Amino acid sequence: MQLPLPRRDTKSFPREMFLIALLVALQEAFAAPSAAPKAEEINQGVDWLIKFGYLPPPDPVTGQLQTQEKLTRAIKAMQRFGGLEATGVLDKATLELMKTPRCSLPDLSELDTARRRRSIQALTKWNKRNLSWRVRAFPKDSHLGHDTIRALMYYALKVWSDITPLNFHEVAGNNADIQIDFSKADHNDGYPFDGPGGTVAHAFFPGEHHTAGDTHFDDDESWTFRSSDAHGMDLFAVAVHEFGHSIGLTHISALESIMRPYYQGPVGDPLKYDLPYEDKVRIWQLYGVRESVSPTARPEVPKNEEHPLLPDLPENRSTIQPRKDEPDRCTTHFDAVAQIRGEAFFFKGKYFWRLTRNKHLVSLQPAQIHRFWRGLPLNMDSLDAVYERTTDHRIVFFKGDRYWVFKDNNVEEGYPRPITDFGLPLGGIDAAFSWAHNDKTYFFKDNLCWQYDDQERRMDAGYPSETTPWKGVPETLDDAMRWSDGAAYFFRGKEYWRVLDNYMEVDAGYPRSIAQDWLVCTGMQSDSPNSRAKPRQGHHDESRSENGYEVCSCTSSAHFLWPWQPHQLPTGHILSLWTALFLTTVL
């Protein structure tokens, strides 16, 4: 005779009776008494089956009982989903699989009908193609730097955008479609974490709810990159899985699938990782195939293609050879200065220097402009001005009577075009920037200033003006930019001026030295371009200039207005790289 099994209800059914009933119900399922699990293991096993959708949750109102048949069927479903022999026995292999680190989300068990699966998939799909993301909360104690984590998030999302029409853009603020958090224990979303091991991450499906697309990683885990399983959880592998949920994919039982619910260890180099074909087919069913991708063949990677780069790739490094025409960043004045993707770019001649948002100079040696923005003339000896449009995050380059528009590192079709498109006269401009206060773009030439509306694509009435809106700004400029602190910065010669957001005059204590505050040209560097800040030792690590490569953060179509981050890299740490890092061999 088979005894009915109670649904777990600690309020209406004593725990001891619950375990006794389970033991009686399961005893016939084991070939020998020695194979029978302990009461604690049975308790944990049933909890696990309920947690991940194989058994219905307890009902404190009805106290409904479950039969041994239902429990056996649930175990078999779990075993099939996990790639085990479907015996219905809570044996050692099954218990070990239950202890394997995995995603927090329930599985769509094999008991689900095809109709239910189709209805769920129909509800879990984004109705737009451009999705924004942001790392809102970083790990509290991790050897992975913020830039590395953001880079891994970028590449994990890129795995999906490479084969679908979806585009992911990193943004600042609280309005990102996909908010990424590292959290511990109960973090108020209904899926509490359980410390090291167990559940390691989860993500929410697309929808209208405020958590749609959000992705959470357990901050109690030891997150790693390019380490063995024994040293923690590979962040890239887990992120690819969770972002699959964020765009609508459910768990699948296929052993080779990235959407298998169990942690399977590192998946290899993020630059070369290719989704299993079954995962491609499932995501194509939701969104279709990206135009540049063949649904029947794996894309071939050209041997000479320059890939984005993540930290710790010493095999790709080479010795930088000095160039005869390379300008001295400490004594020069700059042709153009711009904020691009939240970072500062200083252009001089055919070269540029880059500072991360944490105000780290990436390299003492400049990178070549044409190696990053391919489409600019190879014989171009300098730029007049550069700015990033706030409307679509395109990057606009000016030289003489022409301008070029880039999406990330690639020139848009149909460029260059004449600057008269903006309503500007022929003859070139000196500076251009978008002011955070009103999102208007300002162009400067000699003592003239124009105000342009990028949204409407027209020049505002009343311009040009012989006076600028900001008191104390020089009449002629080399360039200007908005910065992550919300202020506007104006550059001329070897000095710069700052105007705080909502203020119409230069801040006290300016002008200040560009070389000292931005480009690590003395033994002292201010923590930020702020006259009130006490100078301290420069952040730049001289060893970074020996890394043999230059990086550019222009492969993620995003716009940043982030505040300064207090995190500083330790001396001797490898060059910090962020989202979309592009390798260039400096000749």
pLDDT per residue over 550-564, tens digit each? Answer: 323 333 333 322 333
Same domain, yes or no: 283 and 423: no
Q: Of 35, 67, 99, which residue constitutes the final position of a domain?
A: 99
β 367-368/351-355 pair status: antiparallel
- What b/e readout covers 487-517, taking b as 16+ CB neighbours within 10 angstroms? bbbbbbebbbbbbeeeeeebbeebbbbbbbb
Same domain, 95 and 124: no
Binding annotation for Ca(2+) = 141, 177, 194-195, 214, 218-219, 221, 335, 384, 432, 478
Q: Is residue 541 part of a domain?
A: yes
Kindly state the percentage of the chain with pLDDT values over 90: 20
pLDDT tens, residue by residue, 494-522: 999 888 877 788 888 889 899 988 888 86
Question: Two tokens at 512?
Answer: 């200040």
Same domain, 358 and 447: yes
pLDDT of residue 404: 93
pLDDT at residue 43 in the model: 66
Q: How far apart are CA 78 and CA 522, in angstroms?
A: 64
Instruction: With respect to residue 140, please indicate whether it lies within any of the assigned structural domains.
Output: yes
Query: pLDDT tier at 31 (50, 70, 90 boundaries)?
Result: very low
| Among the ranges given (226-240, 291-305, 420-434), the one the predictor scored with the smallest mean pLDDT | 291-305
CATH code, domain with 484: 2.110.10.10
In a domain, 573, yes or no: no
Which residues lie across from 217 on neighbouring strands? 182, 201
Residue 151 included in any domain: yes
On whether residue 567 sits in a domain, the answer given is no
Same domain for 278 and 200, yes or no, is yes
- Residue 555: inside a domain: no
Binding residues, as ranges, are 103, 141, 177, 187, 189, 194-195, 202, 214, 216, 218-219, 221, 241, 245, 251, 259, 335, 384, 432, 478
Cα separation, 332 vs 317, in Å, equals: 28
Does residue 576 form part of some domain?
Answer: no
Identify the pLDDT of residue 365. Answer: 77
CATH classification of the domain holding 173: 3.40.390.10
Q: How many domains does the chain have?
A: 3
DSSP conformation class of 52? T
Task: Report the 10 Å Cβ neighbour count for 26.
Answer: 22
Q: 96 or 576: which carries more pLDDT confidence?
A: 96
Out of 170, 242, 388, 550, the active site residue is: 242
Same domain? For 222 and 343 the reply is no
If asked whether residues 94 and 129 sit together in one domain, one would say no
Phi-psi region of 148 (alpha: psi -120 to 50; beta: other; left: phi over 0): alpha
Our separate counts of H helices and E strands in the chain read 10, 29
**Average model confidence (pLDDT) across the chain:** 73
Q: Name which of 81, 106, 101, 79 is nearest 91 in CA terms.
A: 79
The helix/strand/coil state of 280 is helix
Are 386 and 450 part of one and the same domain? yes
Residues contributing to the annotated binding site for Zn(2+): 103, 187, 189, 202, 216, 241, 245, 251, 259
Q: Provide the pLDDT for residue 358.
A: 67
The reported pLDDT for the residue numbered 217 is 95
Residues across the chain = 587
89 and 157 share one domain: no
C-alpha–C-alpha distance, residues 371 and 393, integer Å: 20
Per-residue pLDDT of 130-168, as tens digits, reads: 999 999 999 998 888 888 899 999 999 999 999 999 999
Helix (H, G, I), strand (E, B) or coil at 299: coil
Q: What is the DSSP letter of 229?
A: G
**Range with the largest mean pLDDT of 96-110, 288-302, 305-319, 354-368:** 354-368
Closest CA relative to residue 581, chosen from 363, 415, 274: 363
Whether residues 92 and 132 fall in one domain: no
Listed ranges 63-72, 74-83, 517-526; the one with the highest mean pLDDT = 74-83
495 in active site: no
Question: What is the rounded CA–CA span in Å between residue 174 and residue 189?
Answer: 17
Q: Do 352 and 386 lie in a common domain? A: yes
The reply to whether 264 falls in a domain is yes
Residues 343 and 216 in one domain: no
> What are φ and ψ of residue 319, in 5° steps?
-80, 130
Same-domain check for residues 463 and 336:
yes
Domain interval for residue 226: 120-287
